[in-house]
Amino acid sequence: MRATVIFAGREEIAGRLRDNVWEAARAVLAERPDGLVRERLLDGGQFPFSHVLGPADTGTLELLRSAARAVRRLVGEAGDDPESYVRRSPVTARIVEALLAALRDRFLLLDVGELHRDPSGWPESWTWETRNRAEFHRVLTRFDGDRPEHHGRLLTPLVKFIETSTP
């Protein structure tokens, strides 16, 4: 049995994360609590990045706290057009870069298969082959699963395409 997984490109994920920063800013504008602002940074759009980065370990939690504080400051400075200000801010770019780095680091948890990266180091694809059907299905849940007990180890929101072949 063989599997090939193709991942969404770095710029596509960065765009999703920029949208999430704006959703976090909208939560600030609506005077929502910090926990909801942090949640929006990962899950503000249709792609649940908390599947990759949650439940939050100490590093992820501190990253989200710091990003939420930065979003609050941004909103306070925004003026008449908060969406444009937030989306174009260098602070937003730094938040997105930090989140991209955290997402990219989750690929270090892959202990089987061959990971292929683009010149910037962003994962492009992963391939793996085994004869063990149970192991095959267990490993593939990292790429297509959504069970809460696996959150923090799943790569599902980053997957664009999975191709499998079995005898």
The answer on 120 and 44 residing in a single domain is no
The answer on 86 and 48 residing in a single domain is yes
Q: How confident is the model at residue 95, as a pLDDT? A: 98
The answer on 96 and 42 residing in a single domain is yes
148 CB neighbour count, 10 Å cutoff = 11
The answer on 22 and 79 residing in a single domain is yes
The answer on 35 and 56 residing in a single domain is yes
Question: pLDDT for 49-58, tens place per residue?
Answer: 999 998 667 7
The answer on 115 and 40 residing in a single domain is no
Range of the domain at 87: 10-105
* Total of domains in the chain: 2
The answer on 18 and 89 residing in a single domain is yes
Single pTM value for the model: 0.93
The answer on 134 and 94 residing in a single domain is no
The answer on 35 and 87 residing in a single domain is yes
Which tokens is 141 given? 């849940």
The answer on 15 and 94 residing in a single domain is yes
Question: pLDDT for 78-108, tens place per residue?
Answer: 989 999 999 999 999 999 999 999 999 999 9
